[in-house]
Chains A and B, each alone.
Chain A
Amino acid sequence: MASNDQAIDVASYAASVRTALSDLPPDQAEVLLEDLEDHLREIAAEAGGPLAERLGPPEQYAQELRAAYGAAQANGRRQDPALRDIRRSVAWVTGSTWYRQVRAFLPELRPAWWVLRAYLVVLVLTAASSRSYNLRPIPNPFSSRGLLQIIATAIAIVLSIRLGRRDRPLAKGGRLLAIGANIMVALIALPVLASMGTFPSMAMVEAGGGQSVDPQTLFSATGAVTNIYPYSKDGKPLTDILLFDQEGHPLTLSAKIGDLTTDYAIGADGQPITNAYPLQQRHLNGDPVGTPRVALPPWPVTSPTASPSPSLSPSPSPGR
Protein backbone atom coordinates (compact mmCIF):
# COMPACT_ATOMS: atom_id res chain seq x y z
CA MET A 1 0.00 0.00 0.00
CA ALA A 2 2.57 2.49 1.14
CA SER A 3 5.01 1.26 -1.46
CA ASN A 4 2.30 1.57 -4.09
CA ASP A 5 1.67 5.17 -3.11
CA GLN A 6 5.39 5.66 -3.31
CA ALA A 7 5.50 4.16 -6.79
CA ILE A 8 2.77 6.51 -7.93
CA ASP A 9 4.55 9.44 -6.33
CA VAL A 10 7.77 8.50 -8.12
CA ALA A 11 6.05 8.00 -11.46
CA SER A 12 4.12 11.22 -11.14
CA TYR A 13 7.17 13.22 -10.08
CA ALA A 14 9.25 11.74 -12.89
CA ALA A 15 6.49 12.48 -15.38
CA SER A 16 6.46 16.12 -14.29
CA VAL A 17 10.22 16.34 -14.66
CA ARG A 18 10.01 14.80 -18.11
CA THR A 19 7.27 17.22 -19.03
CA ALA A 20 9.37 20.17 -17.93
CA LEU A 21 12.21 18.86 -20.09
CA SER A 22 10.02 17.93 -23.03
CA ASP A 23 11.65 20.60 -25.17
CA LEU A 24 15.00 18.78 -25.10
CA PRO A 25 15.89 16.83 -28.20
CA PRO A 26 14.60 13.30 -27.64
CA ASP A 27 18.02 11.66 -27.74
CA GLN A 28 19.37 14.09 -25.18
CA ALA A 29 16.34 13.68 -22.94
CA GLU A 30 16.67 9.90 -23.23
CA VAL A 31 20.28 9.94 -22.14
CA LEU A 32 19.60 12.34 -19.32
CA LEU A 33 16.46 10.73 -17.98
CA GLU A 34 16.87 7.01 -18.67
CA ASP A 35 17.29 6.01 -15.05
CA LEU A 36 15.48 8.92 -13.42
CA GLU A 37 12.78 6.66 -11.99
CA ASP A 38 15.30 4.31 -10.37
CA HIS A 39 17.09 7.26 -8.89
CA LEU A 40 13.89 8.80 -7.53
CA ARG A 41 12.80 5.43 -6.17
CA GLU A 42 16.06 5.23 -4.28
CA ILE A 43 15.42 8.62 -2.72
CA ALA A 44 11.81 7.80 -1.96
CA ALA A 45 12.84 4.53 -0.32
CA GLU A 46 15.46 6.09 1.91
CA ALA A 47 13.89 9.42 2.65
CA GLY A 48 10.21 8.56 2.97
CA GLY A 49 7.51 11.15 2.51
CA PRO A 50 6.53 12.83 -0.75
CA LEU A 51 9.36 13.52 -3.16
CA ALA A 52 8.26 17.11 -3.68
CA GLU A 53 8.87 17.75 0.00
CA ARG A 54 12.34 16.39 -0.22
CA LEU A 55 13.43 17.61 -3.65
CA GLY A 56 11.28 20.67 -4.21
CA PRO A 57 8.78 21.03 -7.04
CA PRO A 58 9.51 18.83 -10.06
CA GLU A 59 9.79 21.85 -12.35
CA GLN A 60 12.58 23.22 -10.20
CA TYR A 61 14.23 19.84 -10.10
CA ALA A 62 14.06 19.74 -13.89
CA GLN A 63 15.68 23.16 -14.18
CA GLU A 64 18.50 22.10 -11.89
CA LEU A 65 18.95 18.92 -13.88
CA ARG A 66 19.03 20.87 -17.11
CA ALA A 67 21.61 23.28 -15.75
CA ALA A 68 23.83 20.56 -14.34
CA TYR A 69 23.65 18.54 -17.51
CA GLY A 70 24.50 21.61 -19.54
CA ALA A 71 21.51 21.23 -21.79
CA ALA A 72 19.92 24.07 -23.71
CA GLN A 73 17.57 26.30 -21.77
CA ALA A 74 13.91 26.13 -22.55
CA ASN A 75 13.69 29.53 -24.11
CA GLY A 76 12.01 28.43 -27.31
CA ARG A 77 14.36 30.70 -29.23
CA ARG A 78 15.62 28.00 -31.51
CA GLN A 79 12.27 26.39 -31.92
CA ASP A 80 9.81 26.42 -34.70
CA PRO A 81 6.55 27.80 -33.23
CA ALA A 82 4.49 24.97 -34.71
CA LEU A 83 6.86 22.43 -33.23
CA ARG A 84 6.65 24.18 -29.90
CA ASP A 85 2.87 24.04 -29.97
CA ILE A 86 3.01 20.33 -30.63
CA ARG A 87 5.46 19.85 -27.81
CA ARG A 88 3.27 21.88 -25.51
CA SER A 89 0.24 19.76 -26.38
CA VAL A 90 2.24 16.60 -25.78
CA ALA A 91 3.48 18.07 -22.52
CA TRP A 92 -0.08 18.94 -21.54
CA VAL A 93 -1.17 15.32 -22.06
CA THR A 94 1.86 13.80 -20.39
CA GLY A 95 1.48 16.21 -17.50
CA SER A 96 -2.13 15.36 -16.83
CA THR A 97 -3.06 13.37 -13.77
CA TRP A 98 -4.73 10.53 -15.63
CA TYR A 99 -1.71 10.09 -17.87
CA ARG A 100 0.55 9.91 -14.85
CA GLN A 101 -1.68 7.39 -13.18
CA VAL A 102 -1.81 5.22 -16.27
CA ARG A 103 1.92 5.57 -16.68
CA ALA A 104 2.52 4.68 -13.08
CA PHE A 105 0.43 1.56 -13.50
CA LEU A 106 1.85 0.39 -16.82
CA PRO A 107 5.15 -0.98 -15.49
CA GLU A 108 3.16 -3.36 -13.31
CA LEU A 109 1.78 -4.92 -16.47
CA ARG A 110 5.23 -5.67 -17.83
CA PRO A 111 5.43 -9.25 -16.51
CA ALA A 112 2.05 -9.93 -18.07
CA TRP A 113 3.40 -8.78 -21.40
CA TRP A 114 6.44 -11.03 -21.00
CA VAL A 115 4.14 -14.02 -20.71
CA LEU A 116 1.83 -12.84 -23.46
CA ARG A 117 4.60 -12.16 -25.96
CA ALA A 118 6.02 -15.64 -25.48
CA TYR A 119 2.59 -17.11 -26.14
CA LEU A 120 2.17 -14.91 -29.21
CA VAL A 121 5.57 -15.76 -30.65
CA VAL A 122 4.84 -19.49 -30.47
CA LEU A 123 1.37 -18.89 -31.87
CA VAL A 124 2.77 -16.94 -34.81
CA LEU A 125 5.43 -19.59 -35.47
CA THR A 126 2.79 -22.30 -35.32
CA ALA A 127 0.60 -20.42 -37.73
CA ALA A 128 3.53 -19.83 -40.04
CA SER A 129 4.65 -23.46 -39.99
CA SER A 130 1.35 -24.80 -41.26
CA ARG A 131 -1.43 -23.00 -43.01
CA SER A 132 -4.05 -25.65 -42.62
CA TYR A 133 -3.52 -26.22 -38.93
CA ASN A 134 -6.65 -25.17 -37.18
CA LEU A 135 -5.38 -22.73 -34.59
CA ARG A 136 -7.07 -22.53 -31.27
CA PRO A 137 -6.35 -20.11 -28.43
CA ILE A 138 -5.37 -23.05 -26.29
CA PRO A 139 -3.70 -25.85 -28.21
CA ASN A 140 -5.12 -29.30 -27.92
CA PRO A 141 -2.90 -31.14 -25.43
CA PHE A 142 -3.94 -34.51 -26.79
CA SER A 143 -2.45 -34.01 -30.18
CA SER A 144 1.28 -34.27 -30.62
CA ARG A 145 1.29 -30.94 -32.35
CA GLY A 146 -0.69 -29.19 -29.65
CA LEU A 147 1.47 -30.72 -26.96
CA LEU A 148 4.56 -29.50 -28.79
CA GLN A 149 3.02 -26.06 -28.98
CA ILE A 150 2.27 -26.04 -25.26
CA ILE A 151 5.80 -27.14 -24.38
CA ALA A 152 7.26 -24.55 -26.73
CA THR A 153 5.07 -21.89 -25.13
CA ALA A 154 6.23 -22.85 -21.66
CA ILE A 155 9.87 -22.67 -22.69
CA ALA A 156 9.29 -19.38 -24.47
CA ILE A 157 7.63 -17.92 -21.38
CA VAL A 158 10.60 -18.85 -19.22
CA LEU A 159 13.02 -17.31 -21.72
CA SER A 160 10.88 -14.24 -22.17
CA ILE A 161 10.70 -13.61 -18.43
CA ARG A 162 14.44 -14.09 -18.06
CA LEU A 163 14.91 -11.62 -20.88
CA GLY A 164 12.53 -9.18 -19.24
CA ARG A 165 14.18 -9.44 -15.85
CA ARG A 166 17.74 -9.10 -17.05
CA ASP A 167 19.82 -6.76 -14.93
CA ARG A 168 21.89 -5.05 -17.52
CA PRO A 169 20.02 -2.37 -19.39
CA LEU A 170 20.50 -2.40 -23.12
CA ALA A 171 22.58 0.15 -24.93
CA LYS A 172 20.51 2.74 -26.72
CA GLY A 173 20.52 1.05 -30.10
CA GLY A 174 19.69 -2.30 -28.57
CA ARG A 175 16.89 -0.75 -26.60
CA LEU A 176 15.26 0.68 -29.70
CA LEU A 177 15.70 -2.67 -31.39
CA ALA A 178 14.06 -4.43 -28.46
CA ILE A 179 11.12 -2.04 -28.44
CA GLY A 180 10.77 -2.51 -32.18
CA ALA A 181 10.84 -6.30 -31.81
CA ASN A 182 8.16 -6.20 -29.14
CA ILE A 183 5.93 -4.05 -31.32
CA MET A 184 6.58 -6.39 -34.26
CA VAL A 185 5.47 -9.40 -32.23
CA ALA A 186 2.26 -7.63 -31.26
CA LEU A 187 1.55 -6.48 -34.82
CA ILE A 188 2.26 -9.84 -36.44
CA ALA A 189 0.20 -11.63 -33.83
CA LEU A 190 -2.83 -9.46 -34.50
CA PRO A 191 -3.89 -11.02 -37.82
CA VAL A 192 -3.14 -14.48 -36.45
CA LEU A 193 -5.37 -13.82 -33.47
CA ALA A 194 -8.02 -12.34 -35.70
CA SER A 195 -8.02 -15.34 -38.02
CA MET A 196 -8.34 -17.71 -35.11
CA GLY A 197 -12.01 -16.92 -34.64
CA THR A 198 -12.82 -17.32 -38.30
CA PHE A 199 -11.89 -20.99 -38.52
CA PRO A 200 -15.30 -22.49 -37.99
CA SER A 201 -15.26 -25.46 -35.71
CA MET A 202 -17.67 -27.25 -38.06
CA ALA A 203 -14.99 -28.14 -40.50
CA MET A 204 -16.07 -28.88 -43.99
CA VAL A 205 -15.66 -31.87 -46.12
CA GLU A 206 -15.37 -29.86 -49.24
CA ALA A 207 -18.40 -30.35 -51.37
CA GLY A 208 -16.77 -31.08 -54.70
CA GLY A 209 -13.11 -31.82 -54.01
CA GLY A 210 -13.59 -34.43 -51.39
CA GLN A 211 -9.86 -34.87 -50.97
CA SER A 212 -9.11 -31.92 -48.77
CA VAL A 213 -10.80 -32.86 -45.56
CA ASP A 214 -10.64 -30.33 -42.78
CA PRO A 215 -11.95 -32.50 -40.02
CA GLN A 216 -13.35 -31.27 -36.80
CA THR A 217 -12.44 -32.18 -33.31
CA LEU A 218 -15.10 -33.29 -30.90
CA PHE A 219 -14.57 -33.23 -27.19
CA SER A 220 -15.88 -35.56 -24.56
CA ALA A 221 -15.43 -35.36 -20.80
CA THR A 222 -11.88 -36.65 -21.03
CA GLY A 223 -10.64 -34.68 -24.00
CA ALA A 224 -10.58 -34.88 -27.75
CA VAL A 225 -12.67 -37.60 -29.34
CA THR A 226 -10.65 -39.81 -31.66
CA ASN A 227 -13.25 -42.36 -32.49
CA ILE A 228 -16.90 -43.18 -31.97
CA TYR A 229 -18.13 -46.67 -31.00
CA PRO A 230 -21.83 -47.15 -31.62
CA TYR A 231 -23.68 -49.88 -29.81
CA SER A 232 -27.11 -51.19 -30.31
CA LYS A 233 -29.55 -50.95 -27.49
CA ASP A 234 -28.88 -54.50 -26.37
CA GLY A 235 -25.15 -53.91 -26.27
CA LYS A 236 -23.99 -55.23 -29.61
CA PRO A 237 -21.12 -53.25 -31.12
CA LEU A 238 -22.16 -51.86 -34.47
CA THR A 239 -19.89 -51.22 -37.40
CA ASP A 240 -19.95 -48.93 -40.40
CA ILE A 241 -22.44 -46.55 -38.89
CA LEU A 242 -22.64 -43.37 -40.94
CA LEU A 243 -22.94 -40.21 -38.90
CA PHE A 244 -24.07 -36.81 -40.11
CA ASP A 245 -24.44 -33.50 -38.42
CA GLN A 246 -27.55 -31.32 -38.22
CA GLU A 247 -26.77 -29.86 -41.63
CA GLY A 248 -26.48 -33.23 -43.23
CA HIS A 249 -22.70 -32.98 -43.57
CA PRO A 250 -20.67 -36.08 -42.81
CA LEU A 251 -19.42 -35.97 -39.24
CA THR A 252 -15.68 -36.40 -39.60
CA LEU A 253 -13.16 -36.53 -36.80
CA SER A 254 -9.66 -35.21 -37.00
CA ALA A 255 -7.39 -37.92 -38.34
CA LYS A 256 -4.37 -36.39 -36.66
CA ILE A 257 -5.48 -36.72 -33.09
CA GLY A 258 -3.39 -38.72 -30.68
CA ASP A 259 -0.77 -40.17 -33.01
CA LEU A 260 -3.27 -42.49 -34.59
CA THR A 261 -3.56 -43.44 -38.20
CA THR A 262 -6.99 -43.97 -39.61
CA ASP A 263 -7.74 -46.33 -42.48
CA TYR A 264 -10.84 -45.06 -44.19
CA ALA A 265 -12.89 -47.30 -46.32
CA ILE A 266 -12.68 -46.23 -49.93
CA GLY A 267 -16.02 -45.85 -51.62
CA ALA A 268 -16.97 -47.02 -55.08
CA ASP A 269 -16.25 -43.54 -56.36
CA GLY A 270 -12.68 -43.74 -55.05
CA GLN A 271 -13.31 -41.25 -52.24
CA PRO A 272 -12.64 -42.17 -48.62
CA ILE A 273 -15.69 -42.59 -46.49
CA THR A 274 -14.70 -40.56 -43.47
CA ASN A 275 -17.82 -40.75 -41.42
CA ALA A 276 -18.24 -44.49 -41.03
CA TYR A 277 -17.84 -45.43 -37.38
CA PRO A 278 -16.05 -46.89 -35.60
CA LEU A 279 -13.02 -45.77 -37.59
CA GLN A 280 -10.40 -48.38 -38.28
CA GLN A 281 -7.40 -46.97 -36.50
CA ARG A 282 -3.84 -48.04 -35.89
CA HIS A 283 -1.18 -46.80 -33.53
CA LEU A 284 2.02 -45.46 -35.03
CA ASN A 285 3.65 -48.85 -34.51
CA GLY A 286 0.96 -50.47 -36.61
CA ASP A 287 -1.03 -52.15 -33.84
CA PRO A 288 -4.75 -51.77 -34.31
CA VAL A 289 -6.53 -49.68 -31.73
CA GLY A 290 -8.57 -51.91 -29.47
CA THR A 291 -12.21 -51.47 -28.71
CA PRO A 292 -12.75 -49.70 -25.41
CA ARG A 293 -14.63 -51.31 -22.57
CA VAL A 294 -17.97 -49.66 -22.26
CA ALA A 295 -20.58 -49.67 -19.56
CA LEU A 296 -24.01 -49.94 -21.06
CA PRO A 297 -26.75 -48.08 -19.24
CA PRO A 298 -29.52 -50.14 -17.68
CA TRP A 299 -32.70 -49.48 -19.55
CA PRO A 300 -35.87 -48.59 -17.66
CA VAL A 301 -37.48 -51.69 -16.15
CA THR A 302 -40.90 -50.71 -17.48
CA SER A 303 -40.05 -52.00 -20.93
CA PRO A 304 -37.66 -54.90 -20.46
CA THR A 305 -39.41 -57.06 -22.96
CA ALA A 306 -40.79 -54.44 -25.29
CA SER A 307 -37.50 -52.91 -26.30
CA PRO A 308 -35.42 -55.94 -27.25
CA SER A 309 -38.37 -57.66 -28.78
CA PRO A 310 -38.35 -55.96 -32.20
CA SER A 311 -34.90 -57.21 -32.98
CA LEU A 312 -35.19 -60.44 -31.12
CA SER A 313 -38.68 -61.36 -32.19
CA PRO A 314 -37.64 -63.12 -35.42
CA SER A 315 -35.56 -65.68 -33.57
CA PRO A 316 -37.97 -66.78 -30.87
CA SER A 317 -40.87 -66.94 -33.26
CA PRO A 318 -39.81 -70.11 -35.08
CA GLY A 319 -39.38 -71.88 -31.76
CA ARG A 320 -42.96 -71.16 -30.78
Chain B
Amino acid sequence: MNQAELDTTQLLKGVLDLAVLAVLADADSYGYDVVRRLREGGLDNVGDASVYGTLRRLYQAGALNSYVVPSDEGPHRKYYGLNNRGRKALDQSAQNWASFSKALNHLLNGRSNGHGK
Protein backbone atom coordinates (compact mmCIF):
# COMPACT_ATOMS: atom_id res chain seq x y z
CA MET B 1 0.00 0.00 0.00
CA ASN B 2 1.60 3.24 -1.04
CA GLN B 3 1.56 6.45 0.88
CA ALA B 4 -1.05 8.23 -1.25
CA GLU B 5 -3.52 5.39 -0.87
CA LEU B 6 -3.06 5.37 2.86
CA ASP B 7 -3.83 9.06 2.93
CA THR B 8 -7.06 8.58 1.02
CA THR B 9 -8.03 5.83 3.43
CA GLN B 10 -7.35 8.11 6.36
CA LEU B 11 -9.32 10.93 4.78
CA LEU B 12 -12.23 8.66 4.01
CA LYS B 13 -12.54 7.69 7.63
CA GLY B 14 -13.41 11.24 8.53
CA VAL B 15 -15.91 11.86 5.80
CA LEU B 16 -17.47 8.48 5.16
CA ASP B 17 -20.53 9.37 7.22
CA LEU B 18 -21.04 12.45 5.11
CA ALA B 19 -20.50 10.53 1.88
CA VAL B 20 -22.95 7.81 2.88
CA LEU B 21 -25.55 10.34 3.97
CA ALA B 22 -25.13 12.18 0.69
CA VAL B 23 -25.64 9.02 -1.33
CA LEU B 24 -28.75 8.15 0.66
CA ALA B 25 -30.11 11.68 0.29
CA ASP B 26 -30.11 11.00 -3.42
CA ALA B 27 -32.13 7.83 -3.12
CA ASP B 28 -32.78 5.07 -0.61
CA SER B 29 -30.34 2.28 -1.09
CA TYR B 30 -28.97 -1.01 0.25
CA GLY B 31 -25.46 -1.81 1.45
CA TYR B 32 -23.85 -3.10 -1.70
CA ASP B 33 -25.48 -0.42 -3.82
CA VAL B 34 -24.18 2.31 -1.52
CA VAL B 35 -20.66 0.97 -1.98
CA ARG B 36 -21.12 0.93 -5.74
CA ARG B 37 -22.45 4.45 -5.85
CA LEU B 38 -19.64 5.76 -3.67
CA ARG B 39 -17.12 4.15 -6.00
CA GLU B 40 -18.88 5.49 -9.06
CA GLY B 41 -18.76 8.86 -7.37
CA GLY B 42 -14.98 8.67 -7.31
CA LEU B 43 -14.28 7.21 -3.88
CA ASP B 44 -12.52 4.20 -5.34
CA ASN B 45 -10.90 3.11 -2.11
CA VAL B 46 -14.03 2.86 -0.05
CA GLY B 47 -14.12 -0.46 1.72
CA ASP B 48 -17.19 -2.63 1.76
CA ALA B 49 -16.91 -3.31 5.49
CA SER B 50 -16.48 0.39 6.22
CA VAL B 51 -19.68 1.24 4.41
CA TYR B 52 -21.57 -1.64 5.96
CA GLY B 53 -20.35 -0.68 9.44
CA THR B 54 -21.15 2.97 8.84
CA LEU B 55 -24.68 2.16 7.69
CA ARG B 56 -25.25 0.04 10.77
CA ARG B 57 -23.90 2.76 13.03
CA LEU B 58 -25.92 5.55 11.44
CA TYR B 59 -29.00 3.37 11.63
CA GLN B 60 -28.27 2.60 15.26
CA ALA B 61 -27.78 6.31 15.95
CA GLY B 62 -31.25 6.95 14.57
CA ALA B 63 -30.21 8.85 11.47
CA LEU B 64 -31.60 6.28 9.05
CA ASN B 65 -34.71 4.27 8.69
CA SER B 66 -34.57 0.85 7.16
CA TYR B 67 -36.90 -1.56 5.41
CA VAL B 68 -36.51 -4.87 3.70
CA VAL B 69 -37.33 -5.30 0.04
CA PRO B 70 -37.82 -8.91 -0.98
CA SER B 71 -36.24 -9.93 -4.21
CA ASP B 72 -37.32 -12.79 -6.43
CA GLU B 73 -33.80 -13.93 -7.07
CA GLY B 74 -31.05 -13.41 -4.59
CA PRO B 75 -31.20 -12.28 -0.99
CA HIS B 76 -33.67 -9.79 0.43
CA ARG B 77 -32.27 -6.32 0.54
CA LYS B 78 -32.22 -4.05 3.50
CA TYR B 79 -32.77 -0.55 2.22
CA TYR B 80 -31.72 2.48 4.17
CA GLY B 81 -33.05 6.00 3.81
CA LEU B 82 -32.60 9.31 5.57
CA ASN B 83 -35.07 10.35 8.21
CA ASN B 84 -35.35 13.85 9.60
CA ARG B 85 -32.46 13.38 11.94
CA GLY B 86 -30.36 12.04 9.09
CA ARG B 87 -31.21 15.01 6.89
CA LYS B 88 -30.25 17.39 9.68
CA ALA B 89 -26.99 15.52 10.22
CA LEU B 90 -26.30 15.72 6.50
CA ASP B 91 -26.95 19.47 6.37
CA GLN B 92 -24.79 20.08 9.40
CA SER B 93 -21.97 17.85 8.15
CA ALA B 94 -22.12 19.38 4.69
CA GLN B 95 -21.71 22.85 6.18
CA ASN B 96 -18.83 21.67 8.31
CA TRP B 97 -17.23 20.09 5.32
CA ALA B 98 -17.66 23.19 3.19
CA SER B 99 -15.97 25.46 5.71
CA PHE B 100 -13.32 22.85 6.44
CA SER B 101 -12.43 22.29 2.81
CA LYS B 102 -12.56 26.02 2.13
CA ALA B 103 -10.08 26.60 4.93
CA LEU B 104 -7.86 23.79 3.76
CA ASN B 105 -7.97 24.92 0.14
CA HIS B 106 -7.09 28.38 1.30
CA LEU B 107 -4.10 27.04 3.18
CA LEU B 108 -3.00 24.92 0.23
CA ASN B 109 -3.39 27.76 -2.24
CA GLY B 110 -1.42 30.02 0.05
CA ARG B 111 1.40 27.50 0.19
CA SER B 112 1.52 26.92 -3.55
CA ASN B 113 1.48 30.67 -4.19
CA GLY B 114 4.42 31.11 -1.92
CA HIS B 115 2.51 33.24 0.57
CA GLY B 116 3.05 30.87 3.45
CA LYS B 117 4.31 32.23 6.73
**Stretch binding the partner chain, chosen from A40-48, A154-162, A178-186, A248-256:** A40-48
Q: Say whether A167 faces chain B, with CB atoms less than 8 Å apart.
A: yes
Interface string of B38-57 (1 = CB under 8 A from A): 00000000011111111011
A37 to B54: give the CA distance in the assembly, Å. 17
Complex interface: chain A residues within 8 A of B54 (CB): 68-69
* Contact (Cβ within 8 A) B53 A68: yes
Distance in angstroms from B24 CB to nearest chain A CB is: 15
Complex interface: chain A residues within 8 A of B75 (CB): 37-38, 41-42, 45
Complex interface: chain B residues within 8 A of A136 (CB): none
Q: Say whether A320 faces chain B, with CB atoms less than 8 Å apart.
A: no
A37 to B56: give the CA distance in the assembly, Å. 14
- Selected from A31, A35, A64, the residue in CB contact (under 8 A) with B49 is A64
Complex interface: chain A residues within 8 A of B56 (CB): 31-32, 69
Number of chain B residues whose Cβ lies closer than 8 Å to a Cβ of chain A: 25
Q: Say whether B116 faces chain A, with CB atoms less than 8 Å apart.
A: no
Complex interface: chain B residues within 8 A of A39 (CB): 31-32, 52, 78
Given contacts A42-B32, A43-B32, A167-B70, contact A68 B57 (CB under 8 A): yes
* Contact (Cβ within 8 A) A65 B53: yes
Interface of A (DSSP majority class) = helix
Residues 45 to 68 of chain A near chain B (Cβ within 8 Å): 45-46, 55, 61-62, 64-68
Q: Say whether B76 faces chain A, with CB atoms less than 8 Å apart.
A: yes
Residues 68 to 111 of chain A near chain B (Cβ within 8 Å): 68-70
**For residue A54, which residue of chain B has the nearest CB?**
B48
Q: Say whether B112 faces chain A, with CB atoms less than 8 Å apart.
A: no
Q: Say whether A293 faces chain B, with CB atoms less than 8 Å apart.
A: no
Complex interface: chain A residues within 8 A of B53 (CB): 32, 64-70
Q: Say whether B4 faces chain A, with CB atoms less than 8 Å apart.
A: no
Complex interface: chain A residues within 8 A of B74 (CB): 41-42, 45
Q: Say whether A310 faces chain B, with CB atoms less than 8 Å apart.
A: no
A55 to B48: give the CA distance in the assembly, Å. 7
Q: Say whether A169 faces chain B, with CB atoms less than 8 Å apart.
A: yes
Q: Say whether B16 faces chain A, with CB atoms less than 8 Å apart.
A: yes
* Contact (Cβ within 8 A) B32 A46: yes
Interface string of B47-84 (1 = CB under 8 A from A): 11111111011001000000111100011111000000
* Contact (Cβ within 8 A) A167 B68: yes
Distance in angstroms from B47 CB to nearest chain A CB is: 5
A sample of 29 inter-chain contacts (CB < 8 A) reads A31-B60, A32-B53, A35-B78, A36-B52, A37-B75, A38-B75, A38-B76, A39-B31, A39-B32, A39-B52, A39-B78, A41-B74, A41-B75, A43-B32, A43-B48, A45-B75, A46-B32, A61-B48, A61-B49, A62-B49, A68-B16, A68-B47, A68-B49, A68-B50, A69-B57, A70-B53, A167-B69, A167-B76, A169-B68
Closest 3 CB pairs of A and B: A68-B53, A64-B49, A69-B53
